[in-house]
Structure 1
Amino acid sequence: MSSILAGAAQVEDPLPEKGRLGPWLAAWHDPVAGLTCNGGCMQFMDLSRNGDYKIVVACRAMSLKVYQGTSIFAEHPLLDEPSGLCAFYGVEDNTNTAGGERPAVAVAAGPYIFIYKNLRPYFKFTAPLVEPSDEELEIWTRYRKGEVDADTLKALLAKATEDGVRLGPLSTDFLAPDLEDRGSFLSARGASEPLSRTTIITCLATMNRAREEEGSPVCLLAGTEDGQIVFLDPPCKVLTTAQLPRGAVPAFLAVGGLFDSDWRLAVACRNGRIYTVKDGDVAKTAVVTGTVISLEATPCGLARLPRQVYAATTDNNLHAYHLKGRRDFSLKMPALVVQLEAMETRSTTCLLVALADGNVRLYDAEKNLLHTLKTQEPIAALRFGPYAREDGALAVVSVTGKLTIFMLNRKADLRKPKTFGAATAGYPPEQDIPLKVPKKTKLYVEQTQRAKLQAGEIHRAFQKDLCLLRLTAARAYVKTITDGRQGVSAVGAAASLRLHAQCQGLGPNFKIKLELQNQGDRALTNLPVAFTYDRDIYAMEKGQFMVSALIPGVSSRHEIAITNIDEGGAAGSVRILVLSPSGPSPLVSAVVNMPLSELIDS
């Protein structure tokens, strides 16, 4: 067991079910720690650079606490409520026998970043002032030149607020509804007070400069309330800035890459969108790319793994996105997600999901649930990293202020979830039982093997049958058009005919309307047209006639009278044949199905 347990008082056992810890070992529990913080205000740091890691916590009670082993190592007051905390390395000093320069502690509180060197106040950085918008600056400039009075100034500022313009503190105080004497206010502050305003730092992160080794120089990233990402270099010198679109307030930062070469930054904002910031074409510049991920709800957590960005939303969903913005998958959580934490070990990289019901879920990169750790109390903050002399430790802070530390079992192989027990594996144990292949499936496998061995012969037989099928279809088509049974017939190689017939009338006297059209490119002459019908039902004055000429593209219309002579008004069919003057086969034919005839009144 770790050295941090030496001399630890067993005040309370938060996890009585020891067998359900999976890859974790219960190391220490402090029920009276009184910590009030979120995940961004707790870090593991090697403050002495001797391999003995400590827990640094920035509490909302405006205090900075440092835990070493099982006791508080140091405690310092803060000037404001913290919003972020991280280790801040400067220029390396390889002559230091302790292994390099000791890290500084950076604490974001209000518009300031407080730097602690050797746990003592060292430097204070103030966020850049926010310049007023063009609309607000123009309104106050007109007032100070005497172009508008106080009432007009109030109306213009109110209209700017309705248009979505963010006003500074001077304009906000002037528009306050409880302000009684606006003239005195303008006399005291309106003429000389600057319009620029301070901003609030909302989140904090670090990015390595040239190397990824721990202890190498880094640059500090700070997100502000005005949608700005500020890049700082020790000692808090502004390197560059990136401005997010209007209304985007950064809440979480996920860093990847090196600042001096190639990097990308995922920024989850309160407006439900994730923006991507990357290095610009000019060295040490930052640009906001066009890749924008729209979430279905407000984000409540963000973490980055080597190939994906994970985002948790307030509708109890966990989304995984590709680095280019494509969503890979989504998982429904049983409770609200409190925090996401990337868990990097020597063998693999996993994702820790802290839920409001007190459970900590462990997922691998393939979205498989490896283990669920139950802490019995709602979680407020969570952090994974080295602690004391251990490489992997999990610090959990409950909403009641209790601090619990779990150690990762050195023998735990996160690539083999079955080592945690069948109840905690990411898939059911039945998945490892071989299926009984039925006989029909065996026959299919045998046929597949035959197809592999005799692929050439099977292909040649298929091609032969396919050619025969095509030949039979072609012969049938040629026979059909040469018999003239489809209403279209070829005449030589340069002409074709189209015949359209229609019957009109109620009976017993009918009229058949014919339309002949030459669709070829040469004229046709002396074409006989004949009719065949049942002579017991119908009678025609002449059963044939001659078409003297058919010009290409011109229709020839004819009307033929036909009478139904059947006493019962029976119906039959009439076949029309356009004959060839030089052969016995018809050029084209059509069949007209005659309707029932009206009976003749006696």
Structure 2
Amino acid sequence: MQTSRDPQAEAIAEQKRNWLDAVYDPLAGADTVAQTIAVAALEGKEWDLFVATQWAPLREGGSREKGNNLTFRGKLKTYRGSRLLSETPLFNQATALCAFYPTSDRPPALAVASGPTVYIYSDSNPPANFVLSPIDLTPLEAEAWNIISASNGSDQVDKSLVEALAEALRELRDGGVVQLSPQSLSLLSLEDAEERAVFAIECVRKPLCVQFQLSSAVVFLSASGLLDTGYSIVAVCRDGSIYYLNSSSCKHIVQLEAHACGLITDHGGVVVGCIDGAVYSYSMEGRKRFKMTMSAPIISMDRFDYPAKGFHGYAVALKNKEFRVYVGKNLIFLICAEDIVTALKFGPYGREPAALIMILQGGGLSIKILKRTADFSAQNSLGGTPKEQEIPIPVPKKTKLYVEQTDRERDSSKEMYQTFIRDLFRLRLHGARDYATLFRHSLNPISSTENVKVKLEINILGLGPVFLIKILIRNIGVTVIPSLILNLVPDPKLHSVKKPIIKLYYIVPGVEYTREAHISCVDDLKTSAGKIDVIISEPESERPVIMARVVVPACRSF
């Protein structure tokens, strides 16, 4: 007897077999998102974890109440092994962290994006910073700001001048002719106040090299290659657009079906996690390769590469505390985390070649070490084919009768096709004739007239010679029907109705009305079945609104 597999039990067993728990600190205070964590060996020895904690506006003294003396608390934390190595105060809120190699003969550096400035941290050197050039005001926008500056000489702001400025800037924005500055966009309280541009920065020779203009603000970036020889950048925008950028082109790949919450680039394509709980894979030409629906909403994603064993996959963190590792559509690892994983990073850490770093909800930190004996084979994947599928099906050998039948079908293929087409056309013809008959006689349980929309349900009760017909009438429209006439037309040779005409008044939408009538057999000796027509019509109309034909069963003689 086969027993059903328990995914949670298998995940726990898989976790004990392939992972070692290195660090678990639920009070680490590492409240951050996936874009603001990075792993780098700035000193060239051990790999450290860098976490830029999220900022929160605080009053002096720690209160979160509204006030004028607001300060910000945010730090760049460095973890080495199981301890916190250092904390560096941040001057502004960090939006992204990235480790890169400035040159081939130097240790890596850490880039921290904060507002319009990119700070470069390297070994034993003060941080260098590059400030992006401000957006030039257009003459019309500058004139609008100059007017309010000249008119407002005091400290008190005139409400009418602010309204006039906002109206002038709104006209410039709606006209679509000029690109407003962030100051103007902030005044108009727009959500998408970014410049919608991607910059490629050379931190050694010149501060700015390449600029790409996109359709919306960028939410995810994935870059690879060298700026001098050849590079490629995949950008996901806030409006769901995916762009492929290189030294020669800026190409729109595809428009996502939902907003993105994670981006992974693999060989020849991209893998995107969306807020609809699905993972989409597209080629660089925009062709969808697959769609895979998760069991819970997606929180974070990251690459899961282990070059020592030639493994290249991606990791997905779900809201149900599950951490999954996939190769394409095949599930390789399934881990049950201590809490919801808000950010993750896989790669070397400390002196270990493969470590999984997870930032938990509430600021907790969990680090797991991948065992060197971990099995990445597809046969052991949790999402692969079951073992029963590997057992070959015992297919019988071809008999003489089977071979003769295939020969006859091959010789008569033309006649078989013609017969199939003829039967298909005959089926369509009979269906069209029956539909026309139903439409002509209104033999439809739901009326389709413009003014009256009624649903009809009929039941015949009894064994005879007296039957009870029960009629259920329901107004499926939105207006009240003033009056209708219900007619019962039996076969006069077989049955008679005591009250063949029933009037209905004020049929309210959504209410079910029941009407009953008795049907008697004309001759008790005739036990054959008959038919009765139930017709509903308006008082001054000749055409019925709805009609149904019901079979009255034969009378049972005892």
Report TM bin, short chain: 0.5 to 0.7
- 8 Å contact kept, 2:12–2:336: no
- What are the Cα deviations for residues 151-206 of structure 1, in whole angstroms up to 9, with x where unaligned? 97664333223445653366468779xxxxxxxxxxxxxxxxxxxxxxx9x9xxxx
Identify the residue that residue 389 of structure 2 maps to in structure 1.
Answer: 431
- The residue identity in structure 2 corresponding to 1:296 is E
Identify the residue that residue 299 of structure 1 maps to in structure 2.
Answer: 260
Q: Indicate whether 1:228 and 2:197 are aligned.
A: yes
Identify the residue that residue 372 of structure 1 maps to in structure 2.
Answer: 334
Identify the residue that residue 184 of structure 1 maps to in structure 2.
Answer: none
Identify the residue that residue 58 of structure 1 maps to in structure 2.
Answer: 52
Identify the residue that residue 367 of structure 2 maps to in structure 1.
Answer: 405
Q: For 1:46 and 1:144, how far apart are their aligned partners in 2?
A: 50
Q: For 1:230 and 1:405, how far apart are their aligned partners in 2?
A: 33
- The residue identity in structure 2 corresponding to 1:124 is N
Report the 3-state secondary structure (helix = DSSP H, G, I; strand = E; otherwise coil) of the residue aligned with 1:233. coil
Identify the residue that residue 83 of structure 2 maps to in structure 1.
Answer: 71
Q: Which has the larger radius of gyration?
A: 1
Report the 3-state secondary structure (helix = DSSP H, G, I; strand = E; otherwise coil) of the residue aligned with 1:113. strand
Gaps of at least 5 residues in structure 2 are 1-9, 56-73, 152-159, 416-558
- What are the Cα deviations for residues 418-469 of structure 1, in whole angstroms up to 9, with x where unaligned? 2x6xxx34222222222222x3x64499959xx9xxxxxx9xxx99x99xx9
TM, length-normalised to structure 2: 0.59
Identify the residue that residue 273 of structure 2 maps to in structure 1.
Answer: 312
Q: Indicate whether 1:244 and 2:210 are aligned.
A: no
- What are the Cα deviations for residues 221-265 of structure 1, in whole angstroms up to 9, with x where unaligned? xxx9211111111246111111112xx100101224443333321
Identify the residue that residue 117 of structure 1 maps to in structure 2.
Answer: 122
- What are the Cα deviations for residues 559-579 of structure 1, in whole angstroms up to 9, with x where unaligned? xxxxxxxxxxxxxxxxxxxxx
Identify the residue that residue 90 of structure 1 maps to in structure 2.
Answer: 102
Report the 3-state secondary structure (helix = DSSP H, G, I; strand = E; otherwise coil) of the residue aligned with 1:161. helix
Report the 3-state secondary structure (helix = DSSP H, G, I; strand = E; otherwise coil) of the residue aligned with 1:159. helix
Q: For 1:121 and 1:446, how far apart are their aligned partners in 2?
A: 83
Report the 3-state secondary structure (helix = DSSP H, G, I; strand = E; otherwise coil) of the residue aligned with 2:376. coil
Q: For 1:154 and 1:297, how far apart are their aligned partners in 2?
A: 32
Identify the residue that residue 241 of structure 2 maps to in structure 1.
Answer: 273
- 8 Å contact kept, 2:75–2:90: yes
Q: Deviation of residue 115 (structure 1)? A: 1.8
Q: For 1:311 and 1:378, how far apart are their aligned partners in 2?
A: 20
- The residue identity in structure 1 corresponding to 2:22 is A
**TM-aligned CA distance change 1:31 to 1:16, over 3 Å:** farther
Give runs of aligned pairs for residues 184-583 of structure 1, distance below 5 A.
225-235=194-204, 237-245=207-215, 248-280=216-248, 287-289=249-251, 291-346=252-307, 347-365=310-328, 367-418=329-380, 424-437=382-395, 439=396, 442-443=398-399
Report the 3-state secondary structure (helix = DSSP H, G, I; strand = E; otherwise coil) of the residue aligned with 2:209. strand
**TM-aligned CA distance change 1:22 to 1:255, over 3 Å:** farther
Q: For 1:445 and 1:328, how far apart are their aligned partners in 2?
A: 43
Give runs of aligned pairs for residues 23-172 of structure 1, distance below 5 A.
23-50=18-45, 52-61=46-55, 62-93=74-105, 101-118=106-123, 121-133=126-138, 136=141, 155-163=167-175, 167-168=180-181, 171=184
**TM-aligned CA distance change 1:19 to 1:121, over 3 Å:** same
- What are the Cα deviations for residues 317-376 of structure 1, in whole angstroms up to 9, with x where unaligned? 1100011111111011122212221111122211111112211111113x1112211103
Q: For 1:310 and 1:294, how far apart are their aligned partners in 2?
A: 13
Higher mean C-alpha displacement, 405-414 vs 154-163: 154-163
Higher mean C-alpha displacement, 257-266 vs 161-170: 161-170
Between the aligned residues of both structures, percent identity stands at: 28
**TM-aligned CA distance change 1:170 to 1:27, over 3 Å:** closer
- The residue identity in structure 1 corresponding to 2:49 is I
Q: Deviation of residue 92 (structure 1)? A: 4.1
Report the 3-state secondary structure (helix = DSSP H, G, I; strand = E; otherwise coil) of the residue aligned with 1:237. coil
**TM-aligned CA distance change 1:32 to 1:311, over 3 Å:** same
Q: For 2:186 and 2:83, how far apart are their aligned partners in 1?
A: 47
- The residue identity in structure 1 corresponding to 2:259 is T
- 8 Å contact kept, 2:93–2:115: yes
Q: For 1:173 and 1:275, how far apart are their aligned partners in 2?
A: 26
Q: For 2:401 and 2:21, how far apart are their aligned partners in 1?
A: 52
- 8 Å contact kept, 2:223–2:234: yes
Q: For 2:53 and 2:149, how far apart are their aligned partners in 1?
A: 45
Q: For 1:152 and 1:72, how far apart are their aligned partners in 2?
A: 53
Report the 3-state secondary structure (helix = DSSP H, G, I; strand = E; otherwise coil) of the residue aligned with 1:238. coil
Coordinate RMSD, CA, aligned: 3.8
TM, length-normalised to structure 1: 0.55
- 8 Å contact kept, 1:251–1:268: yes
- 8 Å contact kept, 2:253–2:284: no
Q: For 1:309 and 1:143, how far apart are their aligned partners in 2?
A: 48
Q: For 2:400 and 2:302, how far apart are their aligned partners in 1?
A: 48
**TM-aligned CA distance change 1:137 to 1:340, over 3 Å:** same
Identify the residue that residue 472 of structure 1 maps to in structure 2.
Answer: none
Q: For 1:358 and 1:436, how far apart are their aligned partners in 2?
A: 43
Q: For 1:128 and 1:292, how far apart are their aligned partners in 2?
A: 29
- The residue identity in structure 2 corresponding to 1:25 is L
- 8 Å contact kept, 1:27–1:406: yes
Q: For 2:31 and 2:124, how far apart are their aligned partners in 1?
A: 20
**TM-aligned CA distance change 1:317 to 1:88, over 3 Å:** same
Report the 3-state secondary structure (helix = DSSP H, G, I; strand = E; otherwise coil) of the residue aligned with 1:254. strand
Identify the residue that residue 194 of structure 1 maps to in structure 2.
Answer: none
Q: Deviation of residue 40 (structure 1)? A: 1.6
Q: For 2:31 and 2:323, how far apart are their aligned partners in 1?
A: 19
Gaps of at least 5 residues in structure 1 are 1-14, 94-100, 177-199, 203-223, 281-286, 452-457, 470-602
- The residue identity in structure 1 corresponding to 2:394 is K
Q: Deviation of residue 36 (structure 1)? A: 0.9
**TM-aligned CA distance change 1:445 to 1:114, over 3 Å:** farther
- The residue identity in structure 2 corresponding to 1:354 is A
- 8 Å contact kept, 2:36–2:52: yes
Q: For 1:329 and 1:16, how far apart are their aligned partners in 2?
A: 25
